[in-house]
Structure 1
């Protein structure tokens, strides 16, 4: 079983409720539902069926809000973030291959 320190350090641990996540980012709960519908994030569900968000997902949601605040349509913002994430992962893998 994971220890409390492991959970606190795990950026993928779904620690935030939808309400708390929305409050942290400064968005509505509907915004979080919409970025879920657009496949930017897929929150984990608690045993009771409530959405739970990780720190990593909160960063993605905050980036979506930032782009929307700059005038980017939500669907385009989600696509941009997905592509940014894919590029970052490809660059990381490329660097790993160079080191071996």
Structure 2
């Protein structure tokens, strides 16, 4: 197997492996919900040559969080306005932690 085979990407959170129907089934929602959060720009599924949407595990996690908020009474658009900054904050935290691990001496001085 080469590095380019789909089996080598099975753990890749960004690999668009899931069809719209399967994604909707996994999330317990409808394709219309996935289209709505796509229109709100929470997720941007890949569209290969055939034009069918394909979702990554990362996008499914964002969609699941949006679904939680919708189940609590938020509109799909409002849920996306909440999930987008939550995701950006989490990414910033991961980046910060990565930098702190690479430069432990500098983080100690910054805290002083």
| Superposed CA RMSD | 1.3
- Whether 1:67 aligns to 2:69 is yes
SS of 1:45 mapped into structure 2:
coil
Deviation track 1:39-66 (CA, whole Å, cap 9, x = no partner) reads 0000000211110001111111111111
Distance, in Å, in 1 between the alignment partners of 2:6 and 2:67 is: 30
Q: Which runs of 4+ in 1 moved over 3 A?
A: none
The count of residues paired between Structure 1 and Structure 2 equals: 100
CA contact (8 A) 2:33 2:76 kept: no
Give, in angstroms, the shift of residue 5 of structure 1. Answer: 3.3
TM-score of the pair, normalised by structure 2: 0.82
**Greater relative CO (CA pairs within 8 A, separation 6+):** 1
Distance, in Å, in 2 between the alignment partners of 1:81 and 1:7 is: 26
Distance, in Å, in 2 between the alignment partners of 1:30 and 1:53 is: 14
Distance, in Å, in 2 between the alignment partners of 1:4 and 1:16 is: 12
Point out where structure 2 has 5 or more consecutive residues left out of the alignment: 104-112
Equivalence for 1:36? 38
Aligned ranges for residues 1-100 of structure 1 at < 5 Å? 1-99=3-101, 100=103
Distance, in Å, in 1 between the alignment partners of 2:37 and 2:100 is: 35
Give, in angstroms, the shift of residue 96 of structure 1. Answer: 2.7
SS of 2:10 mapped into structure 1:
helix
TM-score of the pair, normalised by structure 1: 0.91
